[in-house]
Each structure stands twice: as structure tokens, then as C-alpha cells.
Amino acid sequence: MPPPVTTNPAVDAALSACAGGDPAAFAPVYDALAPVAYGTCLGVLRDPDHAAEVVQEVMVEVWQTAARYDATRGSARTWVATLARRRAVDRVRAEQARRDRDQRDVDASTAAAPRDVVVEDVERRLEGAAVRRCLDSLTATQREAVVQAYYGGLTYREVAERLDAALPTVKSRIRDGLLRLRDCLGVRRG
């Protein structure tokens, strides 16, 4: 034999009044049962804001379906906790479905619009041609210093040794060359 159901007669009476359409009866129902719904939702969702949203949905459902509550089957607290748990689980499933759908959309858009290899190759060639044109506009000493430092991967000191020039002179050539390259390529200062 099942254990006796513990009910709260005041809440049961208020739920009956809600079922009859009495809006004033909903305040005590809300005060008694919203904390139960919130605790249940928070346990499932682990996010206070999402839990509060779901509690509002649950309490609207309580108002709309108060006539379905049957005190012989369980307490109002149990009924609301069950409604809250179902709604919270539905929210988790809906969020997961949304994330899965968003990921599929991202995957589909990435696969549907692959970067055209030909376009990338043309862009690289155009950029390379512009850099070569601008390098040609430098003085021979600037070009040699810049090329050895940036294309050769040498330090300023190593460039100075290879060019048999003073370190400050090499630094000035590189700086001046880079400034002219920046202007030639139309690079704006940040």
C-alpha cells in the first residue's frame, strides 16, 4: 500500500480556486510553489537565469492546468516539481539541439564555401608583385639591408657584418627602407 500523501490544504484549496478561474487565488499558489519549481530547475539547469525563466513557464502552466492537479495522486509540491523537472529537461534538450543545429550550419557553410585555391594563389602573386615593385623603388643599400634582414632572417648585427657597414648605419637603412615600403604599399599606421 502506498504511503499516505502529505498535502497542504491551503495550497490545494488555492489550486482549486485557480482551476475555477480565480486570479486572486494564484498569489498563494505562486508563493508556496515557485520556490519548489526554482530549486528543481536550478538542479537540472545549473544556471540561475535559465532556471528563473523556466520557473515562469512552469507557473504559467500551473495557472493554465490547475484543474489537472489531483491531490489523491500526490502533493502540490510534487506535482509542481514534476512539471518543473520536465520543463527544465526540455530546455536542456532544446539548447543542445540549438547548439547542434548551429554547429551543423557552421560546418555546412564552411564546406559549402571553401576558399578557392586559385583566388588565394592570385592574391599571393599580386601581393608578391607589389612587394617586389616596392623593393625595386628602394636604394640599393636599403634594398640589400632589408632583404638580408627580412628574407634572409639575419639580425641587424649579422647584416652589418655581411655588408661591412656600421651597425647604426644598417639600422638606419633598414628603418628608412621599411618606411618607404610602407608608403609604397599603402599600409596605414595603426
Q: Is 162 part of a structural domain of the chain? A: yes
Average of per-residue pLDDT across 92-104: 91
pLDDT at res. 22? 93
Average of per-residue pLDDT across 96-111: 82
Number of domains in the chain: 2
CA dihedral of residues 120, 121, 124, 125 (deg, nearest 10)? -150
Q: Is 62 part of a structural domain of the chain? A: yes
Chain segment 149-188, per-residue pLDDT in tens = 988 888 999 999 999 999 999 999 999 999 998 998 887 7
* Residue 175 belongs to domain spanning: 117-185
**Reported pTM:** 0.55
Rounded to 5 degrees, what are φ and ψ at 164?
50, 50
All cell numbers assigned to 144:
640589400
What CATH number did the domain enclosing 121 receive?
1.10.10.10
pLDDT at res. 1? 45
Has residue 14 got a pLDDT over 90?
yes
Question: Cα 41 to the chain's mean position, in Å?
Answer: 23
Q: Same structural domain for residues 91 and 22?
A: yes
